[in-house]
A and B are shown apart, each in its own frame.
Chain A
Amino acid sequence: MDKLTKRLRAILLENPAVQIKELAMWHLPVITFDVAFYRVKRSKMDILMKMVLLVFEQADIRRAANLSEMLLVEELFIADLIEKMQRMGLIRLEKEIYKLTQKGNEQLKTGIIDEEMAEEWTELFYSPGHDEFWPPITELVPGTDEELPLYRYANHHDSIKADRILQVLSENENRLEENGFQTVVADVTSFDQRMVEQVPCLEFRMYNKEQDIFYARVWNTWLERWDDTLETQVEEQERVEWREKWAAAAELSE
């Protein structure tokens, strides 16, 4: 940790105009969720085509306009799609009504049938301070000897709901398979808040004497970057006070 501090300090002080007025260390709570979910395997057929096939199966459609009215989809899209499906031999006109061909029927069946896959488990990491889910950590968070205080502006967001989890999982876990299939997260079976990870952060309170400005630099060890969210939070709350404090001190020392 000291090493890191040293390195960061060096980087910051590369600019001769800046001073580090103060350094603080604290930890940021990050919640770990245990999530159980399952995925389904389904055809890659896109939803509009699927829908169009479904409608052709259920109703008598003569023109793209009818479909456009039902689905509230641009007539041009539908006309394009109908042409494509005719070309692919999925549909044909019978007595001026679009009907599914054998092939079309088969495709539709595979398209609407989801093959459920076995349940899976994973971990998700959530920072309430950022209201963000973070990727798993690649390197070990450097340890500290001392007990660090909690981040002073850590606010507790509303509890996380399943659909938020589902959304995050979909982004992470949806896959395109070969042979025209995709696997899609279908449902979150359960999620439990397992533990709260303590992520150490280094806060440098900076002063640029050339420009007469105060600012904060906060290194987030989980993300391994200067964390603008945290910096802004700190600056918004404290910057004016810093000026009062150190400007006054400077005046005194002069």
Chain B
Amino acid sequence: MIKKHMTTYRCPVTLTNKAKDKMRELGLDEHSFFSLEKSYRVYIEKYPQAADRLLSAALFFDNEANARMAEKFSGLVAVLHCVVEKDRFIATNVTTRAAQTTVQTNWRRPVDVTFDLNVRRESPVPLDLLNLIHEMPVAKESSAYVKKRIASWEGYLKIQERYADIPDMTTRYSGLTFNGDFSRVTITGCQLGEKEWKSLKDLSVKLKGIDQDIGKVVKSNRTARTVEVELHGYMEERARQQRLDVNPKEAVFSNFATLSQVKRLRQGFKHLENGLAANPELERLLFENKPPVRVPKKQATPQFYNRLNEFQKEAVIGAMSAEDLYVIQGPPGTGKTTVISEICLQNAKAGLRTLVASQSNLAVDNALGRLLANKDIRILRVGRTESIEEEGKKFIEENVGQYWKDHTLKEVSAQYETRKNRIVEIEDEWAANEREQEKLQPVLARVVAEIEVKKKAEKRVAEIQSMIDEQKKELHAADQEQRTVQQLMKEIGASLHSLNASIEEDETFLRDEPDSDTIQREWDANRQIIQRLQQSVACRELEDEIDEKKQAIEQVSAECEKWAGAVKQMDAITAKVEAAKQIDGLKWIMLEQNMERPFSVQRLIQELEEVRGEISQLEKLKKYHDKLNQAILYVEQLLVRNRISISQLQQRVMNGSSVYTAVEIDQFLDELRSKLKGTSNIYPQMLFPYLEGLYRRRHFVRKRVERLKPYETYKKMAQEAFRMLKQEMIEQLQQKKREDTMSYHKMLREMEEQRTKLLSLQNKHKEMMASSEQIPNAKEMLHQKEGESLELQNKKEHLEQVKNRVEINSQKRAKETIQLQEAEQKLEQIEGRLKQLHTTIHQKEEEQVPLNKILSTEPEREHEKVLKQLASLSFTRESLKQERQKLPLFQSIQGTWLSLLEEANDHDLDEIRKLYVKHANVIGTTCVASARKDFIDSYPGFDVVIIDEVSKATPPELLLPMLKGKKIILVGDHHQLPPLLGNDTLEETLQEMADESENFEGKSELKKLLKESLFERLFKNLPKSNKTMLAIQYRMHENIMAAITPFYEQENDQLRCGLTDSDSERDHLLESTLIQRDNHLLWLDMPNEPAFFEERMKGGKSLYNPAELREIGALLKELDEASAQAKEAGRMKADEKKSIGVISFYGEQVKRIDRLIHQELRLRHLTIRTGTVDRFQGMEMDVILLSMVRNHQNKQDDIGFAKDYRRLNVALSRARELLVLIGSTKMFTERTKQEDTRHMYTHVLEAAKKQNGLRTLEEVKLHG
């Protein structure tokens, strides 16, 4: 599978002694083993990792790639069990596996390794190799995953294995009796054990002396000692020749076929477990809830070879683009096979090999039979020839040569015939070609001439145009010039006009106004007046100044006096201070005079205050001392009088140190006094404490006095401070006095100055008074006069300006007049030129008109067209020429080829058969056959595996072909029936098994699978890119389709009818009493009454319905007659037969229908097939009669198999033109237990009614 180039790793390896021994047992020592091959292709399998174990792996030595090893070990696979370390592999054991062991699995990784027994530190195990081992999956874990998941499929195998372990049974028999058509044989006189009789069913039967199985057991009858066998088709011939009944009469019943089938299915499980699927992700695709499909590759829409509708195209493109899995749901008649055919062909064109597999041979053959015959597609049908249907027969190996020949012959002769006609055609075409060419030549000449003329015209037009352009340019310039001149003239005119106006105005002005001399005079006079006025004003101002000065002097002299007073006052205060005896006097002066109190003064005052405080305290203490002394004296006297010593007490008191306030002392004394006063009797002892108190207080007072200074000191201090304060104050006052004196002197000097100034002003005034007169209102007049003077000045200047302007303007006017004249001249010239230019341009344009007409024609286009035609003609001619040349060769070669092919015999085709088989790219086989050993050997893998009718196969069956495909395409319909097991449906089998044993494991799993098949789950869970439903059906008349559309309502797309005209394309052409031409869906209603009830086989479980049987017989006759009439009427061809299928839900009913048809009816215009609904899946017929069987009034019972909507869907969707249901409408639409089922059948009934297709038995009877 994987054959890409791989890097070869050098890998150091050592062997444990055990491994060395094992290696020696194999006949080699390790050195010779590792040097057998330059490098080994090994497959590494990783062992499960555990925390306490080193990384370990097994190396499987490929016995194909390693040829020498294989030879040495006679094909055995060597396995090296290794611990993987960073610097080496340590082989702990060496084992071998059988030659056919698969080395390559999905759980192993291939590597090329050169083993080196020299372990060197500098070259450890390559990092890439280590990484590879680290990252690869652990084989056991992957297997375990598969094992766990696949367990849910076990049930299927269990069912099939039910009787699997039956040993072969051999018996003698007495005879063989065959049935009517040699399809069954009854073996009579069998001698079997009791148990053996029970397990005969479905066993394959062999007769001694006959090499092949003759058939399968259908029935056994122990009492009659007979075994009924269904014969294989290939046995019929021998049976007819009476060649089966040979001696010794011995039959062998064996379960080999079933066993080998189950074995193959089991092997499928095993392969998946061992990672042998072609798609390494297969298990996850199958078992994960969200199948991990890879994103499909975008692909361009290919060329389709079949006619496909949109859904079919989508399916084909999807299937081609998908990387791993694609699912196609195909409701009945939707062209699944066409899609499969197209995919096969597309695959073939892409060089891919496809496996087409299905559960049944019939489906495989159907699919292959519909493949397009195309030389790129080489179909091979693999399987047992006898079980292959006619459709598939031509593709079996022995027939493919013939098939190839037929196909090739057809193709070659078709081409040969076509080419024969082609010879004549070529000549005709050649002649026509020449005629055409001749016809085109003159046209070409004309067109060429026309082109020439046009070219010339183009040139001329261009010339003229350039001239015109030039002229126009000039014209434009002249125009521009004209406009400039006109503008200029306009400007000059305007200027002249304004000049004239200005001059006139100025002249008028000059004429009217006085001249400049007069003004000058007036101005001079005015000037003199002004001078006089100015002098007078100055004189007045001086007088004012003198008055001011006088006032100032007065003020200054007043100030002078003030200062003199202040000095005197200071002297008085100083005297007062010096006289002061008391501090308070000084303080008063300070306050009065608002004197400053610098720090020194404040300090002195403070000091005085303190001294005064101390003195007053001293006095107070002294007073209390006296008081106490007095008291002490008194008390001491009292005590002395009583002769009580007090010296001791005095001593004691000296040591005390109590503190007393004045108030307390007073109280104490008062208390003492009152005591002494109050009592006449005074006990000296009582006085003692008082005396002590007195002493203490006196001591306290004395102590306090000690802390103060003596009175004299305080007095001195106070005197000193007082003196200093006085001095301070006097100094301050002296200072003030000095300042005042200075101010006084300053004022005196000021007065002197002012007086001097006044004197000078007075002098000046005197002078002025002498020289000028006094004019009243001089100031106002001066103002007026100065205004007049200014006005005069202005007037004079204006006059001068006007004069100047008049002069300038006059000059300007003269100049501009001349300019105007010049401009007029120029304008005239320009106008002349313009006129000339216009004329020229017009002329030229006139000249262009005819030329333009020529230009507007397009001979080039025609020219091009003609050239193209000619080119294509000559191309055709060239290919005709080649064809004419090649044709005879082709024809002669194909002629020879045809004759060779025609007479080709089998031997001739043998070689081609070999080529064909070698290059076969579409291989068809059944699911189970795809696991046969010979098949696996010939076809180990496929690029694509297509499985048809997937819903009919069990998952284990599907797994077998799936294992082989890199890509898997599943085609099926989960709304049709699930798999059959043998002859029974799964439900039947399940029921049977449940009856047999209650605790059948896997039953619940199976039930789940029955509810939702693998196909359905995949279809539902895959992303949109990996699935399609084909929603257009072409089988049924749209009226028949109406019966099944509800089954597909849940899907994304509704089921549609692809027939463009159902009525004409699905016309059954029959007319009878019951059936009209426009009837396509009929329900023949059987009454729900005992006469029409179902019946049960004696001792059997299958049901049948005799009433329905009768109706079917009648109906078939009617159809036969109707066909005969249709033939008479020319609607049907004389040798044509209507294909009719008669189907039923119940096998017993089918058997009886069969018998009825063969034994009691002669239907010359019909071909009839019968079968159960289940067997009919996949088939189609023109007409279908469905016998529904169930009809009863038993409340406990229901409608059995007919409940399954999938079965009903299959039953209803087999007919192309006409579907007739025969059964009780009441039973199915009313008596049925489940609501869903009633609803389902009611829909069918309604559809029939709507199409006027309900027939009651009365009608039937009436017509019949």
Q: Which residues of A contact B (CB under 8 A)?
A: 11, 14-15, 18, 44, 46-51, 54-55, 58-59, 70-74, 76-77, 80-81, 170, 174, 176, 182, 184, 206, 208, 211-215, 223-228, 235-236, 239-240, 243
Residue in A closest to B186 when the chains form the complex, CB atoms: A15
Q: Is B908 a contact of A46 with CB atoms below 8 Å? A: yes
Q: Which B residues are in CB contact (< 8 Å) with A70?
A: 890, 893-894, 897
- Complex Cα gap A226–B183 (Å): 13
Decide if B1159 touches A214 in the complex (CB within 8 Å): yes
B contact residues around A182 at 8 Å (CB): 905, 907
Give me 27 A-to-B residue pairs in the complex whose CB atoms sit less than 8 angstroms apart, sorted by A's number.
A14-B175, A14-B188, A46-B910, A46-B911, A47-B908, A47-B909, A49-B911, A51-B893, A54-B896, A58-B892, A59-B893, A70-B894, A71-B893, A71-B897, A72-B408, A72-B412, A73-B408, A74-B375, A74-B376, A76-B915, A81-B915, A182-B907, A184-B903, A184-B905, A211-B1155, A212-B1159, A228-B240
Please tell me if the beta carbons of B897 and A77 are within 8 angstroms of each other in the complex: no
- For residue B901, which residues in chain A have a CB less than 8 angstroms away from its CB? 47
Instruction: Evaluate contact between A239 and B240: CB separation under 8 angstroms.
Output: no
- Nearest CB in chain B to that of A215: its residue: B180
Is B256 close to A, CB under 8 A? no
Kindly state the separation between the CA atoms of A243 and B1158 in the bound complex, as whole angstroms: 11
Given contacts A47-B904, A184-B905, A225-B242, contact A213 B1155 (CB under 8 A): yes
Given A14-B175, A44-B907: A226 and B893 within 8 A (CB)? no
A158 to chain B, nearest CB (A): 15
A59 cross-chain contacts in B, Cβ below 8 A: 889, 893
A contact residues around B176 at 8 Å (CB): 14
Q: A72-B375, A206-B180, A215-B180 are in contact. Are A48 and B912 (CB under 8 A)?
A: yes
Known: A208-B180, A211-B1155, A228-B240. 19 other contacts (CB 8 A): A14-B177, A46-B910, A51-B893, A51-B900, A55-B893, A70-B893, A70-B894, A71-B412, A72-B375, A73-B375, A73-B408, A74-B915, A77-B912, A77-B916, A206-B180, A213-B180, A213-B1159, A226-B240, A239-B1162
The verdict on A243 contacting B1159 (CB below 8 Å), with A15-B186, A47-B900 known, is yes
**Cβ-defined contact, A51 with B915, below 8 A:** no
The minimal Cβ–Cβ distance linking A35 to chain B, given in whole angstroms, is 18
Closest-CB distance, A49 to chain B (whole angstroms): 7
Q: Which residues of the other chain, A, contact B1155 by a CB distance below 8 angstroms?
A: 211-213
- In the assembled complex, the Cα of A27 lies from the Cα of B911 at a distance in Å of 46
CA of A227 to CA of B240, assembled, Å = 7
Check A240/B1161 contact, CB under 8 A, given A73-B375, A182-B907, A212-B1155: yes
**Nearest CB in chain B: distance from A2 CB, A:** 18
Tell me the residues in window 852-892 of chain B with beta carbons closer than 8 Å to chain A beta carbons.
889-890, 892
A60's closest neighbor in chain B, by CB?
A: B889
In the complex, A173 Cα to B1096 Cα: how many Å? 59
Q: Which residues of B contact A243 (CB under 8 A)?
A: 1159-1160
Q: In the complex, what residue of chain A is closest to B413 when comparing beta carbons?
A: A72
Asked if B412 contacts A213 (CB within 8 A), the reply is no
The 8 lowest CB-CB distance pairs between A and B, nearest first, are A15-B177, A46-B911, A215-B180, A226-B240, A225-B241, A240-B1162, A225-B240, A47-B900
B547 CB–A CB distance under 8 Å: no
Knowing A80-B918, A81-B915, A184-B905, the reply to whether A239 touches B1158 (Cβ < 8 A) is: yes
How many angstroms between the C-alpha atoms of A51 and B915 in the bound complex?
15
Supposing A11-B242, A70-B893 touch, asked if A176 and B907 sit within 8 A by C-beta, the answer is yes
Bitwise, B35-59 to A at CB < 8 A (1) or not (0) is 0000000000000000000000000
Least CB distance, B399 to chain A, in whole angstroms:
15
Q: Is B666 an interface residue (CB 8 A)?
A: no
Is B394 interfacial (CB 8 A cutoff)? no
Collect the chain A residues with CB atoms within 8 Å of residue B412's CB: 71-72
The answer to whether A74 touches B1158, judged by C-beta atoms less than 8 angstroms apart, is no
Given contacts A59-B893, A240-B1161, contact A224 B241 (CB under 8 A): yes
- Nearest to B174 among chain A residues (CB) is A14
Asked whether B919 is an interface residue with its Cβ less than 8 Å from the other chain, the reply is: yes
* Inter-chain contacts of B896 with A (CB < 8 A): 51, 54
Question: Which of B237, B408, B415 has the most chain A CB atoms inside 10 A of its CB?
Answer: B408
Tell me if B311 counts as interface (CB < 8 A to partner A).
Answer: no
Bound-complex Cα distance A58 to B891 (A): 12
- Bound: A76/B349 CA distance, A: 12
Mark B residues whose CB is within 8 Å of A: 175-177, 179-182, 186, 188, 236-237, 239-242, 375-376, 378, 408, 411-412, 415, 889-890, 892-894, 896-897, 900-901, 903-912, 915-916, 918-919, 1155, 1158-1162
| Other-chain residue from A11, A51, A174, A225 in contact with B907 (beta carbon distance below 8 A) | A174
Residues of A within 8 A of B892 (CB): 58
Q: Which A residues are in CB contact (< 8 Å) with B240?
A: 225-228
Chain B residue nearest to A48 in the complex (CB): B912
Cα–Cα distance between A224 and B240 once the two chains are bound (Å): 9
Contact partners of B242 in chain A: CB under 8 A: 11, 225-226
CA–CA, A27 and B909, complex, Å: 41
The verdict on A72 contacting B411 (CB below 8 Å), with A15-B177, A77-B915, A212-B1155 known, is yes
Q: Note all chain B residues with C-beta closer than 8 A to A80.
A: 915, 918-919
Instruction: Return chain B residues, CB-CB under 8 Å to A215.
Output: 180-181
Nearest-Cβ distance from residue A192 to partner chain B, whole angstroms: 24
A contact residues around B236 at 8 Å (CB): 228
The smallest beta-carbon distance between B1150 and chain A, in angstroms, is 15
Complex alpha-carbon distance, A18 and B175, angstroms: 15
**B918 / chain A contacts, CB cutoff of 8 Å:** 80
Most buried by A among B180, B378, B415, B893: B180
Considering only CB atoms, which chain A residue lies closest to B896 in the complex? A54
Measured CB to CB, the nearest residue on chain B to A46 is B911
How many angstroms between the C-alpha atoms of A74 and B373 in the bound complex?
12
Query: Is the beta-carbon distance between B905 and A170 smaller than 8 angstroms?
Result: yes
- Please pick, from A14, A51, A227, the residue contacting B897 in the complex, using a CB distance under 8 A: A51
CA distance A225 to B912 in the complex (A): 37
- Rounded to whole Å, the gap between the CB of A136 and the closest CB of chain B is 17
B900 contact set on A, CB distance < 8 A:
47, 50-51
Across-interface contacts of A50 in B (CB, < 8 A) = 900
Q: In the assembled complex, which residues on chain A have CB atoms less than 8 Å from the CB atom of B908?
A: 46-47
In the assembled complex, the CB of B872 is this many whole angstroms from the nearest CB of chain A, namely 25
Pair A76/B889 contact, Cβ less than 8 Å: no
Bound CA span A223–B241, Å: 8
CB distance from B1113 to the nearest CB of A (A): 12
Q: When the two chains form their complex, are residues B177 and A48 in contact, meaning their CB atoms are under 8 A apart?
A: no
| Cβ B378 vs Cβ A74 within 8 A | yes
Residue of A at shortest CB range from B405?
A: A47
A11 to chain B, nearest CB (A): 7
Complex alpha-carbon distance, A156 and B179, angstroms: 31
**Residues in B neighbouring A81, C-beta threshold 8 A:** 915
Q: Which of B188, B903, B911 has the most CB of A within 10 A?
A: B911
Q: Which residues of A contact B378 (CB under 8 A)?
A: 74
CA distance A213 to B237 in the complex (A): 22
Q: Are A46 and B912 in contact (CB under 8 A)?
A: yes
Task: Determine the distance from Cα of A225 to Cα of B236 in the docked complex, in whole angstroms.
Answer: 11
A228 to B182: give the CA distance in the assembly, Å: 9
Bound-state CA distance A46–B903 (Å) is 12
Bound together, the chains give a CA A243 to CA B1160 distance in angstroms of 7
Shortest Cβ gap from A115 to chain B (Å): 16
Nearest Cβ on chain A to B188's Cβ, whole angstroms: 7
Q: Which residues of B contact A51 (CB under 8 A)?
A: 893, 896-897, 900
Cβ–Cβ < 8 Å partners of B906 in chain A: 174
Specify which chain A residues have a CB less than 8 angstroms from the CB of B186 in the assembled complex. 15
Asked if B911 and A76 make an inter-chain contact with CB atoms under 8 angstroms apart, the answer reads: no
Partner of A76, one of B890, B919, B1160: B919
CA distance in complex: A235, B1159 (Å) = 9
Contacting residues, chain A, for B910 (C-beta < 8 A) = 46
User: Whole-angstrom distance between the alpha carbons of A47 and B901 in the complex?
Assistant: 7
Q: From residue B418, how far is it (CB to closest CB) to chain A in Å?
A: 12
CB–CB A213/B912 < 8 A: no
Taking a contact as CB atoms under 8 Å apart, the answer to whether B911 and A58 are in contact is no
Q: Give the most central of A77, A182, A226: most B CB within 10 Å.
A: A77
Query: From A11, which residue of chain B is reached at the shortest CB distance?
Result: B242
